[in-house]
């Protein structure tokens, strides 16, 4: 099932895209309905209330490659709605064909994460949106240069005015709009959600057995907890730690020895659309991921203490993968909007 996100028509300014707001639950700070299975609305910062006009502006900025120095990379380049809001690559490619060092995480339900980026260095979606713009490998601009380019595009003026009351363009307004749009990128309504809601035919027998393993023998819920199947925490699974110069993940932010090689727990929703897996894209399939956990992760001095060999049988592994398939819900494959000129 495809759910079209985004809000109702703007009260004033440019025409909005023909998308439905009635797929979200109303709330005092989050004014849209939620897909089935999401138990609470994303938090909305007090200094960036979400509005239809701001989301409309943010959608266009999200798809606009002119936010990069050579106009070849947009947010959607690495977080493509047609590819599960990732780029389905082990690592992402920025301007001039430069390669990063980490796999692009999905934007789906990123609004529920406590911290952003694999290492948690951004405290909000707004802060996260600033990072790639000035990263020399990704978009290669300064914030001032990016703001000046967007301000030079006359067609953006009515969008900024509708969203913020006047047509001034600066980096804070740009990222507030992008973050507002990203807070509408939500997925739910999976077979698992329908099963929880009372449809006892929504899960197959194999998926039910997989759920029992997920909650029991495999102990997946320790990290993949809650309705978004993530604790928003950071864990060392040993991935990439045998490299000559391993990516130390969260340690680069906190400088705590216990955070060496620890990376943020991703959501398990819509895994069918977001391969390859792990922060470095080193696991090509869900079967590979299950094998990693079955062997208790890859040994290193900072391996998470909860990891241990699971000794799953071949049929148990198949059942666990079947359950993960039951978490595939709304794809949100929206089309790029017409950009202001």
For 315-332, the pLDDT digits (tens) are 999 999 999 999 999 999
User: Which residue shows structure tokens 């790639």?
Assistant: 132
**Tens of pLDDT, residues 246-274:** 999 999 999 999 999 999 999 999 999 99
- What pLDDT is recorded for position 333? 87
* Residue bearing tokens 């913020």: 164
- Give the percent of the chain with pLDDT over 90: 90
**Pair of tokens at residue 297:** 């992760």
- Inter-helix orientation angle 171-182/52-63, to 10°: 100
- Distances in Å between the Cα of 199 and the Cα atoms of 34, 190, 192, 196, 205 are 19, 11, 9, 7, 14
Domains of the chain: 191-325 (1.10.760.10)
The pTM score is 0.91
**pLDDT at 27 (0 to 100):** 55
| Distance separating alpha carbons of residues 39 and 246, to the nearest angstrom | 37
Which residues are the active-site residues?
138
pLDDT digit string, tens, across residues 55-97: 999 999 999 999 999 999 999 999 999 999 999 999 999 999 9
């Amino acid at each position: 099932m495809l759910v079209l996100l985004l809000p109702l028509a703007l009260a004033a300014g440019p025409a909005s895209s023909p998308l439905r707001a009635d797929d979200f639950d109303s709330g005092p700070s989050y004014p849209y309905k939620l897909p089935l299975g999401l138990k609470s609305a994303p938090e909305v910062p007090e200094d960036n209330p979400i509005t239809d006009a701001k989301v409309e502006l943010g959608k266009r900025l999200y798809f606009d490659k002119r936010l990069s120095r050579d106009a070849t990379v947009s947010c959607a380049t690495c977080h493509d709605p047609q590819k599960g809001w990732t780029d389905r690559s082990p690592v992402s490619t920025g301007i001039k064909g430069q390669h990063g060092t980490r796999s692009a995480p999905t934007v789906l339900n990123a609004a529920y994460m406590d911290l952003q980026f694999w290492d948690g260095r951004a405290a909000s979606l707004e802060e996260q949106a600033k990072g790639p713009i000035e990263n020399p490998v990704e978009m290669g601009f300064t914030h001032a240069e990016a703001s000046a380019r967007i301000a030079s595009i006359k067609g953006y003026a009515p969008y900024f005015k509708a969203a913020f009351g006047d047509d001034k363009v600066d980096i804070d307004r740009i990222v507030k709009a992008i973050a507002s749009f990203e807070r509408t990128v939500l997925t739910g309504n999976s077979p698992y959600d329908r099963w929880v809601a009372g449809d006892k035919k929504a899960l197959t027998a194999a998926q039910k057995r997989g759920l029992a393993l997920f909650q029991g023998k495999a102990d997946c819920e320790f990290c993949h907890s809650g309705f978004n199947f993530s604790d928003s925490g950071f864990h060392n699974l040993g991935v990439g730690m045998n490299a000559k110069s391993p990516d130390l993940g969260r340690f680069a932010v906190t400088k705590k020895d216990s955070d060496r090689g620890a990376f943020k727990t991703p959501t398990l929703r819509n895994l069918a659309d977001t391969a390859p897996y792990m922060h470095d894209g080193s696991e090509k399939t869900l079967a590979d991921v299950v094998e990693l956990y079955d062997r208790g992760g890859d040994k290193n001095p900072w391996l998470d203490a909860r990891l241990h060999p699971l000794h799953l049988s071949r049929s148990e592994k198949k059942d666990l993968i079947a359950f993960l398939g039951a978490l595939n819900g709304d794809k949100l494959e929206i089309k790029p909007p017409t950009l202001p000129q």
